Amino acid sequence: MGKLIHGTAYSGMLRFSLIDSKDIVQTSKEKHGLSYLPTVVLGRFITASGLVVPWLGERESITFVLSGDGPAGNVVAQSNAAGHVRGYISNTNFELQPNEIGKFDVRQAVGNGELTVVRDVGLKTPYVSKVPIISGEIAEDVAYYYTKSEQIPSAFALGVLMDASGVVHAGGLAIQILDRNLPEDVISGIEKRLNGFSISHELEKASLEDIARYVIGDEGLLFEEKNVVFKCSCSREKAYEALKLFELGDLYELLAEGRAEITCKWCSERYEFGSDDIKDAIELKKSISKQE
């Protein structure tokens, strides 16, 4: 479970969100069996999806899709107003050579491409927006989406710190300017403090509340706490519905094998079905074909 604080400052002219996502990132690592760099990439992205939870409507969910030409492939993260987050990465096991200062380059892992954002507010058709990947650093790309597509000046900071045992620290910070009358000296002060800022290293020595006070300042600072958790909405029933979508020929092949397995892409949960389940799916498929 991740701890998140969110609130406003400067008489509501600015809103912010801060999250300690260590447990969420570690859970995603374990569920998907991720190596080091995929954990960092997906961890940052899923942390970003957690940061925007307080800004979602009651029935709203938001899905971020990074489609880059780097070795990470597609990276997807989703969150909803209940504080449930989940995500996956196409390539679960890849590594790159560290750069000249001994760090791994997330930009190289993501590459060039598009960031797609799907907002489902409970209506028939979700809202879909696309922006180019401007850096591959994820935080900059998500901030660019909000600044460009939603016309809300935004800044994001994301970090995942790991060692041989797993995730040591992970977290994120998001700041949005809601009123452009926010004094310029306030904005420049926040920008100065964010220059070289590392959320994962700050979490080693400070609480979320202290980090908020340091970056944003104390003036009119109001915040509340919320829990965010990695939770998938998959189930055996939903997996069986997916099985029923298979073509008849594929179902007969599965029947010959005597079993079928459906794996949830979001959490890697596996659901197994026996011959009787497959036979029922075949009969249903055949009856639908007759009606058509």
Express each pLDDT in 2-41 by its tens digit.
899 999 999 999 999 999 999 999 999 999 999 999 999 9
pLDDT for residue 188: 95
Domain that holds residue 249: 236-291
Indicate the number of domains in the chain. Answer: 2
Q: How far apart are CA 133 and CA 91, in angstroms?
A: 18
This prediction's pTM: 0.90
With 80 as the cut, is the pLDDT of residue 289 above it?
Answer: no
Q: Specify the CATH number for the domain of residue 272.
A: 3.90.1280.10
CATH number at residue 161: 3.55.30.10
Q: Is residue 104 located within the same domain as residue 139?
A: yes
Percent pLDDT > 90 in the chain is 77
Give Cα 13 distance to the centre of its chain.
Answer: 26
Q: What is the pLDDT of residue 122?
A: 81
**Model confidence over 138-169: pLDDT tens digits?**
999 999 999 999 999 999 999 999 888 889 99
pLDDT score for 292: 54
Same domain, 190 and 274: no
Lookup: tokens for 192:
């100065």
Task: List the single range of 127-136, 170-179, 279-288 with lowest mean pLDDT.
Answer: 279-288
Clarify whether residues 33 and 168 are in a common domain: yes
The pLDDT value recorded for residue 287 is 74
Q: Are residues 274 and 182 in the same domain?
A: no
Do 246 and 221 share a structural domain?
Answer: no
- Do 224 and 249 have their domain in common? no
Are 208 and 251 within one domain?
no
Q: What is the pLDDT of residue 98?
A: 64
pLDDT in tens, 67-110: 999 999 999 999 999 999 999 999 999 887 665 555 667 888 89
Q: Is the pLDDT of residue 65 over 60?
A: yes
Residues 139, 13 share a domain: yes
For residue 191, pLDDT beyond 70: yes
- On whether both 18 and 149 belong to a single domain, the answer is yes
Same domain, 165 and 247: no
Q: Assess whether 248 and 175 both reside in one domain.
A: no
Give the pLDDT band of residue 226 (cuts 50, 70, 90): very high
